[in-house]
Structures are given as C-alpha cells and as structure tokens.
Chains A and B, each alone.
Chain A
Amino acid sequence: MNYLPLFTALPLLGAFLIPLLSKIWERLSDIISNVITTLLLILSVYSLFLLPIFGKVYVYEIGKWAIKPIPLGIVFTFDNLSLLMVLVINLLSFACSLYSITYLDNYTARWKFWTLFLLMVAGLNGVAITGDLFNLFVFIEISAISSYALVAFGVEKEDLEASFKYQIIGEIAGLTILLAIALIYAKTSTLNMADIANTFAKESKGPLFWFIISLLTFGFLIKSALFPFHFWLPDAHSQAPAPISAMLSGIFIKVVGVYALSRLIFNIFGLNRLNASHYFNLLLILGIFSIVIAGFIALKQENYKRLLAYSTISQVGYIFVGLGLANFWSITGALSLIFAHALGKGLLFLTAGPVEKEAGSLDIHLLSNFKKRMSFYGIVYTLGALSLAGIPPFLGFFPKIFLILGAIKGKRFEVAIILGIFSLLTLAYLLKITNKVFTKKEGEEVKGVSSIVISFLFLVFLIFILGLFYLNYLEPNLISKATEAVISGVEYARLVLIK
C-alpha cells in the first residue's frame, strides 16, 4: 500500500498541472481532474480490499523517516476509519467532478474551479490519512482555503458575503486548532499523533488537558457546524456552486469536523464514556439541539439550497448524537450516517444545479410556479430525500437503526424517541421541495443533461445498492471495522507504533 501519498499527491499534481495545461486547451482541465478523481476512486476502492491484508493500520513513513524509536518523521496512517473517509471523499468527488463537466458551462473560469476543487480534494484526503498533528492542521487549511475561494466562485454579492463570513468564522476555528496544537506540543514535545496518545496516556488529566480538549472541540465544532456554531454554514453552502455545496455539505464538514474530532478525542486523548461522560453528554446535548433547531428552521426555509443547508446542520446533529452516545452501535450509526449523508445530501445539492439553470432561481415559491416539468430531477431528488429521512430500503435507513439501537443500549430512551420522531421533521422539510417544486403533471418536460445525469444515476445507484447490501457487506467489511477503530481508543497508538 505504498501508494498512500498518492491520495494527496495526485490531486495536488493535478492542481498544479491544470493552470499550465489549460492554456493549451481549456477542456483539458476537465479531463485531467476527472481522470484524477477516477484514479482516486479506484485507489480507495482498491484499498478497501487491500487494507485487511496489512492488518488494521498501515503506516507510511514519508521520506523513510522511521518512526521508531523516536517518532520524528511525518507519517501517513491508514486505518479502517481513514479508509471509510477516503472512500466517501472519493466517491463524492468523483460524482461531483463528473457533474461539473456540464455544470461548468455556466461559468467562465473553468481551470480555476478545477484547481481549487482538486486542492480541496487533496486537503480532504490528507486530513483523512495523516498521522501527524500539524499536518492535519495544514491539510485542514488547504481544503478550507480552497473552499473559501470556491464559495465565492460566483462572485455575486451574496457569494462574497457568504465567503467572507465563512472565512472569518472558519479561520477562528483554524486558529483555535492551531493554538491547541501548540499547547499539545508544549505538553508533549511531539507531533506524531500516536506518540501524543502514548504521552497523554501516562499523564493525569489536569485542567490544561481539558483546556486543550475544549479548544479542539470548539474548533472542530465550528468546522462541523454544530449548533450554536453553525452560522456560517447556511450562507456558505447555499451560495457555493452546486457541486461545491455538495462537496462541502457531503464530506467537507464531516472530514474536517467530525472525522478529525473523533480521531483526536477517541484515538489520541483516549476519551470514552467511562472517563469523560460529561464531555460526551455535551456532544449529545448539542447534537440534539442541532437536530431540533435546525430541523425547525429548515421547515420554514424558502430557498432550495438554504433548506438543504439547514438540513445538513440537523443531520450533523444526528452524527454528534451518535458520537455523544459513544457506544459501538451509536458510533456505527454515526459513521454510516456520514456515508449515507454524504451520498444523499450530495445528490440533493447536485439537483439544485440543473434546477437553478432551468428556472433561473432557487426560491421555492418561484419554483412552484415554474411552468416546466422536471420529473427526472424530481425522482432523483425524492429518492435522495427518502434516503436521508431514513426510509428503507435506501442507505439512509441503516444509520437510523444503529443510532436508535445505540440510544437504547445506552439506556437513553428519550434520545431514541427524539431521534425517531425528528426524522419525521427531516422528511417533512425535504419533501417540501418535492411537493412544491417537482410535483407537477402538466408542462413541457425538461431534458436531462449528459454528465449530470450520469453522476445522478451513479449516486442513486449507490444509495440503492449500498442500502441493499448494507447489512451483508458494507457494515461488516467497512463500517463496523471503522467503528472498532474508533471505539478501541488509544489502541490506535499501539498499532501505529508497533511498526
């Protein structure tokens, strides 16, 4: 598995090649980026089969700087959790880059988009596979900066406003994370995550420890837009171009926020419900607040993408409830929700593109009076919405099972009921669009456009087929292993350092 650096190297390479080569022929940028995302997808699927051969963790030492006996070199660690994230990132980035081929006809600066897009993919992949704390920060910033730029890509009034607000809040998070890293370094004098874990395991958990945790939590909660740190998200996600909204909502907040946080608190700091129940209760309560409040706000939204953005906040709440319950089932639920939500919400945001192009607006009220019929997009949207609301047999149903099961097993019966009942709210606000925009019988039918249609079909196929094979294949081979990686805590450090 020594191709591991390719996950970041390939998109970075693409990002540097594209400005040069697109001078020759602008369409070349499409080809390069699509080839790269396809390669990444192939690599990540290949890793799915390859990783079990290498055991639970594969460690790649950059520049052959051995991490033993002194962990000085920078490493990439690739365990099952990283595998899950890489797989999700590359599935969705594949779909989005495919989609963007036709979508970008609306915009002028093709190659700029592709450069930023690949930078973001590189950053996200880097976050998922890195084993070094500072590298984590760097990758977060790479993806974040490119996302700031991409949100402002349309250069309209609202785009710039959203981007500015997003940047300020996002960078505060970034700085907080940097501060926390500085503190960690001050405390441990190492940046290797496994080594940090070992060091913290030996020490008692004083106020400084908790201060670091709070800073990290603060930073990553902003990144993952949990209530009350969500304010940037509805603006940014609703103003970005459709594929970028899909990427941001589908994977960005999860990789940069949820993944990084859970990697740190579970694997590095070794927190679990036994030694830090108040911490997890905090996550749980914020998660529930997110679910409820963002759900109700989404119900009243009048803008297609803004509604979906609020829905994302609500769904992140579900993920955090899963993390907050912190038992095997709930974390399985949270991780599978990351998977399901990435595909589902990505699909929903992608449908916004052709709709906006056809109707010239995303205002639901205007769309409901739009004269043409968009049955294909309507069906795609509805399937995605049903999956997100947790209706079988789609993929989104299984996270719900595991989250509720986790709540029951965690003796949090009220949480189980809340999770169940508020998925009704999810259904209600998502179907609001189906009902108002797509439920028409008369009018001229809008024709689908080629690469957009293919990406839709790809995602719908995934949602459906993964839903069918969830319990038989996906759960035992991918998600429960990833859950084990999370739940086993500082076992991660031992596995990394044994190499």
Chain B
Amino acid sequence: MTLQREKRQYSWGMVVDVDKCTGCQACVLACQAENNVPLNLQDRFERARAMSWIRVERYWEGEFPDIKARFIPIMCQHCENAPCEPVCPVFATYHNNEGLNVQVYNRCVGTRYCANGCPYIVRFFNYWEPVWPEAFRNHLNPDVTVRSRGIMEKCSFCIQRIRRGVRNAERENRNVVDGEIQTACTQACPTDALVFGNFNDEDSKVSKMRKDDRHYTLLPHLATDPNVVYLAKIDPDRSAGASHG
C-alpha cells in the first residue's frame, strides 16, 4: 500500500529552475542515450510520433523586436493524483511507494488511454518496433528495457539509477545521501537548471529550492499535484511570478 507523501522513506522529485534553462537540449540527448529511446528519424517527426521523454518547449514572448525566447523543459511530472494511472485497465502504470509514477512494460497492452489522460502530453506510444542502426546496437543501456512495439513509455526519473542508489544505501544500512542519485538529465544539465532529489529529506537541495517564492507547478487547476516543481523565470523588466501554466 502506498504511503502518503509525508510517510514515505523517499519521495523523489525534481525542481526545474526555468531561470537557468538555456534551452541547450543536453538533457534531451542524455535522456535519449540513457533510456534507449528509439531514434527519431524524419518520418517519425512527420507523422507526429517522435519520442523524447524530456523535451524543451520554446515559447516566444512579446512582439518583434521586443521579443524573448522562453524555454521550459517538460518531462513526466510524476503526479501524486496522476490522471493517467487509474484509467489503465491492467495496472501497467501505478504509483509506487517512492512517489514515482512507474510504467510496467510487461503489463501494458497498449490501449493508449493513459496518454489521453495525461494533460502534459509526456507519454509515448511505440507505433513501430524500435530499430537502431547496427553501429548503435552496442550502445544500448543494459540496465534499461528496450521497449517493443505496441506499448507506452515515458520518463521514469531514470528508475534504474534510483534503484541502484537505494540498493547501495541499503547495503550500507543508511539513507540515500542527497545528490547521490542523479538522473541522466540533471547530470547533463550544464547550468544546473534541473535538480533531482528526495522531497522528504528536509535538507535536500530540492526541498530547499521548493521553498523559493518562485515555485509553481504546471496546470495547477487540474489538481494533479506533480512531483516536478518549477521555479519561475526572473524577468528584470517585470516582477517575478508564475508565467506558465
């Protein structure tokens, strides 16, 4: 039985400081490599079937010439009240007791209902069997399942890394230390815009960052209660505040 957020040992989450994001796409690339995400060839984009577990959305603000590019990285928000979870008929996606919205590939039958339920559009369906060029075969991450066609997939907060970190800590009879576990995207982020950690650890970096005045979540009116918290862009021209969502 899943515990409430406060009673969990770990409650994984991420804080995204939008102010620091430069839109460099390093996180996207790192994620693609870490999680065996299939290559997005031209036809995948043309048919609007491209997959990227994390994406950097770009918005234009203002009118030319007074125009600014805004970036916001979006990945699975690992909502506490995730709309995608209860609709799955086979429990292929559910909430585990570390606060993660997990996807169980073996159970998935590919109804794609979860994807319809997700307001952030971060769930992906394998329309085809994934193929990699011969040269790429040996680059696949052995810790991560290669998904077959016909199932859903999405950001897992690099669950393979979390599992290894927790296992190591348990072996040494201690709690996971803050910063010990890094997801591929946080590791790759050159500006530290993405920070991963345990929300239940009062001293963790994410817990401290979350107390910032600039914090907000995406689509708050849907009351999904995400585990990804954003910190708003600091705009010298305007007072800080939630500009997205």
Q: Do A and B come from one complex?
A: no
